[in-house]
Structure 1
């Protein structure tokens, strides 16, 4: 892939974004990057560095403020303007393990009709690749304070935004992603995520 930033560029973009809109999304992005890199390193066809860069910048649209689902459009447009098309794609696809814009966790009233139509058309026209799927999974493995069980992250999203008609379908799709990647790496994804047990359950089983 030629349409990727260097790690130094990606780190600087995240730092600049955090100055514009400080918040938990920044540390969440770092954990997503770490999870993506760890799983990619154990995967037979994925590149660890590419996965890390995608994870680090998947939520860069949140630099524009607390904008709900519009962050995917803001991130897509920002990355495209910089010439980083591969990251732009992830900015948009990471929120949709179910490839339907209506599956968004929050409402589209924050977007213009043109933006909503763009996302709907985009999701219908592309075919997800392994990086799309990886970042969809890793987005569900990270909170702002560390790695977590998928189920805890799923409830975190529903607590914040409420359920919708696609909630259960998204959960099923996310569990299917877990199963797919565990088959590819030959073991549990959780063994690659330091502190996941303690962060999920509030105690260290090894202490």
Structure 2
């Protein structure tokens, strides 16, 4: 799959999207990119053939579908997929979708609030997920980093989950999604032989700040 390698170009796309719909998602995306680079760099040190530029740019653009507006559903995943797929970057487009489904494409119906997703969007997202047999480390890293970074910087999974829950509510599938993030965390930590939290400078500061809601 083709990914964006040029960081300047990826930042131009992110800045363009933010001009259309500015919001906290922009700084969140910058921090997801940084977190992804930290993790992928550590993975390369442990023998995995990955590219930090690919990871960083995928982190920058995972939420680019927000350019059309904000909903708590996976509509932004559809919009991001269409935007980047039309530019020819299928790898980045896929990550716009997969980051919203932490359970490795299982339990598709557990995504937040399918009820407000138009049927044509849902059909496309399901087709994309069902056709993605290569749920690789890039997909997993960005999915995890989406839950490790907010607009202020790096944070723990638990604090991020509480923040999102307080802002957008929870549902009967929330625990299933949380478990998916923990499964990815466990897998990546088994590959780098340490806690992911050891990779992030300043993460301790998040312990002493209030939960955002």
Same fold (TM over 0.5): yes
Shift of the alpha carbon at 1:104? 1.7
Alpha-carbon distance change, 25 to 80 in structure 1, aligned in 2, over 3 angstroms: same
Q: Do the aligned partners of 1:147 and 1:200 also contact (CA within 8 Å) in 2?
A: no
Residue 185 of structure 2 corresponds to 178
Number of residue pairs matched? 202
1:88 and 2:81 correspond? no
For 2:60, the equivalent position in structure 1 comes to: 56
In 2, Cα distance between equivalents of 1:47 and 1:5: 9
Q: Does 1:188 align with 2:183?
A: no
Aligned residues: CA RMSD: 1.7
What TM-score do you get using the length of structure 2 for normalisation? Answer: 0.89
For the 8 Å contact 2:2–2:88, the answer to whether it is kept is no
Deviations 1:107-136, CA, capped at 9 Å, x for gaps:
234432111112123223323111111111
Residue 141 of structure 1 pairs with residue 148 of structure 2: yes
- 2:33 and 2:58 in contact (8 A); partners too: yes
1:130 counterpart = 2:137: yes
**Whole-Å separation in 1 of the counterparts to 2:208 and 2:76:** 30
Distance in 1 between residues matched to 2:10 and 2:116, nearest whole Å: 27
Instruction: Give the structure-1-normalised TM-score.
Output: 0.91
For residues 155 and 163 of structure 1, the distance between their equivalents in structure 2, rounded to whole angstroms, comes to 10
Instruction: Report the Cα offset of residue 199 of structure 1.
Output: 1.9
Q: Secondary structure at the match of 2:85?
A: helix
Check whether the contact 2:63–2:96 (CA below 8 A) recurs between aligned residues. Answer: yes
The DSSP-based 3-state class of the residue aligned with 1:178 is: helix
Q: 2:51 aligns with which of 47, 56, 60?
A: 47
Distance of 2:64 and 2:3 partners within structure 1: 16
5+ residue gaps, structure 2: none
Cα deviation for residue 137 of structure 1 reads 0.6
Q: Name 1:101's counterpart in structure 2.
A: 108
Instruction: Please report how far the alpha carbon of residue 148 of structure 1 lies from its aligned counterpart in structure 2 after TM superposition.
Output: 0.3
Match of 2:122 in 1: 116
